Structure formats: C-alpha cells, structure tokens
Amino acid sequence: MSAFAALLRRDLRLTLRNGGDALMVVAFFIVAGALFPFGVGAEPAVLARIAPGLVWVMALLSVLLSLDRLFQSDYEDGSLDQILLSPQPLTLAVAAKIAAHWLVTAVPLMIAAPVLALLLSLDPALLPPLLLGMLLGTPTLAILGAIGAALSLGARRGGVLLSLLVLPLYIPVLVFGAGAVAAAAAGEPFQAPLMALGAFLLAALALGPWAAAASLRQAAQ
Amino acid sequence: MHRFANPNRFLRLARAVFPWAVGATVALLGTGLYYALFASPPDYQQGETVRIMYVHVPSAWMAMFVYAAIAVASASALIWKHPLADIFARAASPIGAAFTLLALVTGSLWGKPMWGAWWVWDARLTSVLILFFLYLGHMALLNAFDDPARGQRAAAILALVGVVNLPVIKFSVDWWNTLHQPASVVRMGGPSIHPDMLTPLLLMAAGFTAYFVVTVIVRIEAEILARRVRAHRLMQGG
Amino acid sequence: MTPLLTFATAMPAYGEYVYPAYLVAVAVLGVLLIASLRRRARARREAQSLPTRGDST
C-alpha cells in the first residue's frame, strides 16, 4: 500500500510541478465547449436543451486528450521499466497512476463544469445530477483510457489510434451520464442512470487495472 | 489443439478442407437465395420487406460469432502463445467487420420502410455500431506498430476487453424497451418464427458460415506465406 | 447484357429496399473475397520465388 501512495504522490508532484498541463486540459474543456453557441446559435432554449450532452462530450474529449501523457513520459524516460521490474504488483502501480491522473484531470474538469454549464445556459438546478454523474463516470473514463493508452504505447500515430480504441468504450458512460441530467430535466428520478454509472465504475475498477497492467507488460516486452 | 499449431500441418489440412468449403458455400448460398427471394411467403405484417431479414439476421449472427472466435483465439494466443491463433485473429478481423457493416446497412435498409428512419439510436443498433468500431480499432491496432508481434498482443488484449459488448448486444432487446424486435429464433420454448421463414434464414446463416471458412482459410494461407517471405528476407538482410 | 436484363425484369417486384440489401451483401462479401484471393495469389508468388524454403513463420 505504501508503494501505491508513493507512486501516487510522485505522479501528483510531477504534474503539479509543471502545472500547465492540468490547466491546459481545463482550458480546452471551456474553450472548445464555448464554440457551440457560435455553431448552433446562442438561443438559450436551444443551448439549455443540448447542454448536458455537450458538457459530457467535452469532458470525455478532455479526458481523452490528456491520456497520452499517462504512460508516455514514463515510457520514454525509463521509469516504466523501473516500475515493471519492482517487486510491487504492477496492477497496483497502474491503479496508482490512474488515480493520480484522475485527480489532476477529472477533478479540475468537475470544478470547471459549472462554468461551462453556465456558458451553455444549463438550468442550475440540474448541476447536482451532472456533477454526481461526473463523479461516478470520470473514474471509469480514466480506467478505460488507461487500457487504451497502454495498448497504443509506442504506436505510430498513437493519438488518433487511442481515440479510435477508447471512444467506442466511452459511449455507455456518455449515455447514462447525459441520461441522468436529461431525466432530472424531465422531472423524473435520476437514481437509475447514476446507479448504472456506479455499476460501470465497479466493473472497471475490478477489471481495468488488471487489463491495463497486462497491456503495459506486453508493451515493454 | 496444439497439433494444429504447426503452420505446415494446418496448411495441408486447410487445402484438403478448402474445396468442400467452397462447394458448401455455393450450394448453401444458392439454395438460400432461392428460398429467400422466391420460395418463401411475404410476412403478414412486413410484406416483402421481410426478405431483408434473410441477409440481415445471418450477418448479425456472424458479426458476433466472428468476434467471439477472435476473442477465444486472442486468449489462446496470449496464454499459450499459440502461433496460429494470432494469424487467425488477424485473418478473421476484416471478415467480422464486413459482416457487421452488412448487418448495419441491411438493418438500415429494413428500418427505412418499417420504422420510417434509416437509423434510430436504440440499444441494439448502438451496441452493434460499437462492435463495428471495436473491429476497426482491432484492425488499426494490429497494424499500428513497427513490430507486428507487438500489435498482435495489443490487439489480443483489446479483443478480450471488447467481449463485454457481446452480451450487451445479445440482451439489449430484453434489457431495454427498444424498437428492435426481440429474439425469435434462439429463445426459450423454441423459435417463434414460421418454418417457411426459418428455412431461408438457416440456409443463409449456414452459407455465411461456409463463406467465412473459405475466406478465413484464404487469408490465413496468405498470412502464413507472407510471414515465411518476411522471415526469409530478414535472414537475407540480417 | 440482354439475358441479364431479361432476368432482372423477370424478378418479382419487392419494393425499393429488398434488392439493394442483397446487392450490398454481394458487393461487400465479394470485394472481401476477391481482395483475400489476390493477397493469397501475391503471397504464393512471392513464396515461390524464394530460393530455399524458409521453414519458420
């Protein structure tokens, strides 16, 4: 467990030291999201109608955009080999890296989400289902993304490949995340989609780090 | 199973099976098409459009069956380092993608007159679309690395991760209340479909399976020979 | 061409969606089969041009 904490602390410190990276993802989230009023027209009724889906899609793309640095720098400077050689279980190390990645990308996104929601004239009463959904959904995104990042490590045109691998797997999270907000907007109970997101998270937690560790091991072979 | 790990033994076996598989494909697809287009009645609800089912349903079955076969091959490639399993996964992936595309396109052609829309975002259609994307990702990953072995291992892991999608496709019509109709052939209590329609359906499904066997044998042989040439050139060059 | 046309006109009319579905199926599966056969033909040609039989894959 101390190895988990040590790796988590190292990754957090590395990211915070060149803190621009995390902010860049948040900036992308807001700037790209703010393009939509120009595209579909600034009518508040139209924007409010599509805002839940837009915030979710932007969150998903922002997580995707940040995935390439999850293993890439460790792969390049050789730390990954150190982690692979260490006696600690690799699954645990991968879990620590995913947790650190989630803390420095998804948490800032959740803080920025109300701002983007405001820009897209989302009803403030819908913020709780949106943020609860993101709290349950973004860890799943990070875990699935870690599998994709490990699989495409060292590939030609890795970024494009990564999105081709990961985006289809993100669809269920998007469906239920946006579904929770849509249900709340229609005045219906939104527990069911949130529970589905929770179920995805549990399944991803159980299987994801294991699959990502297996992919990392074969990437280093 | 390891008896057939030797590519030469496999090639001998495949060349013996091949003419029979070609014959079976021609015969089954021929009679299947005859039944599908001439010797089966129109549906009392769907009219003649029901004939699209005889291509659509077998394609969808094959899309899932080929993916399951790739997943099993990927598992044995990762666990036992079975050399032919890798070659099979590489050979079968485009065929599975073709069947998935066919299921989507024919479903769309059926949906237009029946539902009034080329595409609806229902659970069955969406999960099959995800299956198509998984096939595309699998093929892209196979060819994304300078070292082909690295691509094979990565693609094998992806194939195993994507298996989650298969039960979702199968049960999507039961779990969600969707436009797509529920299973009518493989279900508890026997098929709910009339024998006159079951005949062309099963013939076409058998024909598609035979087509898969033919094409996969052709692709596997091409891959084995290409590897032999590559290994030879490496020895020459190195 | 003419026998093909008479055959096509002799086919029963099933509306505008049935035949396209079958044509798409023939096109997709046909293209895939032809591409696979061409691959095999090329691989066989190249394998035959090897001076000695390399027996590893």
At A179-195, the pLDDT tens digits run: 888 888 888 888 888 99
Predicted confidence band at A19 (pLDDT cuts at 50, 70, 90)?
A: low
Instruction: Residue B39: count other Cβ atoms within 10 Å of its Cβ.
Output: 11
Subunits in contact with chain B (3 or more CB pairs closer than 8 Å): A, C
Q: Do B153 and A158 touch (CB under 8 A)?
A: no
Predicted confidence band at C49 (pLDDT cuts at 50, 70, 90)?
A: confident
ipTM: 0.83
Strands (E), C1-57: none
Contact B231, B83 (CB under 8 A): no
Mean pLDDT of the A38-56 span: 86
Residue B191 confidence (pLDDT): 65
Distance from B132 to chain A by nearest Cα, in Å? 9
Residue A138 confidence (pLDDT): 93
**B157: DSSP letter:** H
Closest alpha carbon to A58 in A157, A149, A138, A160: A138
- Taking 70 as the threshold, does the pLDDT of residue B188 lie above it? no
Predicted confidence band at A8 (pLDDT cuts at 50, 70, 90)?
A: confident
CA atoms within 13 A on the CB side of A45: 0
B146 CB-contact burial (10 Å; exposed 0-12 / middle 13-18 / buried 19+): exposed
Mean pLDDT of the C24-44 span: 93
Distance from C8 to chain B by nearest Cα, in Å? 13
pLDDT > 70 fraction of chain A, expressed in percent and rounded: 99
Q: Which range (A117-121, B20-24, B57-61, B185-189) has the least confidence?
A: B185-189
Residues 129-158 of A with CB under 8 A from B: 147, 151-152, 154-158
**C49: DSSP letter:** T
Predicted confidence band at B68 (pLDDT cuts at 50, 70, 90)?
A: very high
Buried b / exposed e along A43-80 (16+ C-beta atoms within 10 A): eeeebbbebbbbbbbbbbbbbbbbbbbbbbebbeeeeb
Residues 158-177 of A with CB under 8 A from B: 158, 161, 164-165, 167-169, 171, 175
Among chain B residues, the shortest Cα distance to C36 is held by B219
Q: Do A211 and B160 touch (CB under 8 A)?
A: yes
Read off the pLDDT of residues B119-148 as tens digits, 9 standing for 90 and up.
Answer: 877 778 888 999 999 999 999 999 888 888
Residues of chain B with a CB closer than 8 angstroms to some CB in chain C: 7-8, 33, 37-38, 47-49, 51-52, 55-56, 59, 83, 87, 94-95, 98, 101-102, 105-106, 109-110, 112-113, 211, 214-215, 218-219, 221-229, 231-232, 235
Mean pLDDT of the A144-149 span: 92
Q: Where are the domains of chain B?
A: 53-178+195-237
| pTM as predicted | 0.84
Residue A218 confidence (pLDDT): 82
Among chain B residues, the shortest Cα distance to C27 is held by B102
Contact B181, A190 (CB under 8 A): no
Contacts of B104 in chain A (CB under 8 A): none
Residue B1 confidence (pLDDT): 52
